[in-house]
Structure 1
């Protein structure tokens, strides 16, 4: 079957879009679905990763149907996502261990402050190119592991070298 299209999944903070393009770059079909914003307390923002996964599958199906496109006609799919939103999936079950912590969530403020108080800012910047901030996924991963029963003493960074 001839490959006539390329597609894109744009998984953003408020929803997911799937677009199908022809080789001239014109949009053949598109579908969009919003997902819930969860606010467990002030400054905390979460998403349900399964809601996003199901929504992604639905928008793909909707766009294929609306555009009368056979999936075998798509030669490539690009993906863009929220980048600094963090979720951990359980390897044994394939299920998330909790909700995703969204990029704008500030629950990791204390973790970041501990790193700053320990004088680790320069070392982290040298190793990662990043500043210590609640925006980034590292502190979010530590928070998830510490607070969902997976680690009592997880160290976010090694102080060696």
Structure 2
């Protein structure tokens, strides 16, 4: 194996995950890509399976490193790009997601956003976040997850109320 140093980049996108290896001149040394499934549980809803994305990410990293003929110890840094407003909540201790990720394209919280606007909260939201109220953003997606995650599924991890667990710092959001 070469003793040269490299930079890695994970591009976790809407339809798949890519890992690229660059030399210090910015030239691409290796590139691997893996598609993932889009899940449409209802019209206007879009989800991704977090475990599939995790497995694909590991696979593309391994494939690109193999293509480059280098080890992970030769990477000086790894940059990460992601889907921005795609929203996921997971158990802090186990690392297991409580639900599929809600993708940035998902519109299931449009009614909630409209209700917030009707309640005159538009200015407050803008002041606190710098954003316009829209189902695109993650806050109402996280709220939906806290209010609607299947309790039966959660009992395999821990049966406490989802909101209570979030307030206690037992759930992570990203």
For the residues of structure 2 that align with 1:8 and 1:104, how far apart are their CA atoms? 24
- Residue 113 of structure 1: how far off its partner (Å): 1.2
Tell me if the contact between 1:3 and 1:72 (Cα under 8 Å) persists in the aligned partners: no
For the residues of structure 2 that align with 1:142 and 1:36, how far apart are their CA atoms? 24
What secondary structure sits across from 1:77 in the alignment? Answer: strand
Unaligned 5+ segments in structure 2 are: 152-161, 167-174
- Residue 91 of structure 1: how far off its partner (Å): 1.5
Tell me if the contact between 1:21 and 1:28 (Cα under 8 Å) persists in the aligned partners: yes
- Residue 2 of structure 1: how far off its partner (Å): 4.9
| RMSD of aligned residue pairs (Cα, Å) | 1.6
- Residue 6 of structure 1: how far off its partner (Å): 0.5
- Residue 92 of structure 1: how far off its partner (Å): 2.7
What secondary structure sits across from 2:90 in the alignment? Answer: coil
For the residues of structure 1 that align with 2:4 and 2:106, how far apart are their CA atoms? 41
Unaligned 5+ segments in structure 1 are: 155-161
What secondary structure sits across from 2:91 in the alignment? Answer: coil
For the residues of structure 1 that align with 2:93 and 2:108, how far apart are their CA atoms? 28
What secondary structure sits across from 1:89 in the alignment? Answer: strand
Alignment partner, residue 115 of structure 2 = 114
How far does the alpha carbon of each residue in 1:86-133 deviate from its partner, in whole angstroms, 9 at most, with x for none?
A: 000111321000100000000001211121111000111011110000
- Residue 3 of structure 1: how far off its partner (Å): 5.3
For the residues of structure 2 that align with 1:35 and 1:12, how far apart are their CA atoms? 9
Alignment partner, residue 157 of structure 1 = none
How far does the alpha carbon of each residue in 1:27-73 deviate from its partner, in whole angstroms, 9 at most, with x for none?
A: 00010000000000100000000100010000000000011011111
Moved over 6 A (4+): none
Alignment partner, residue 145 of structure 2 = 144
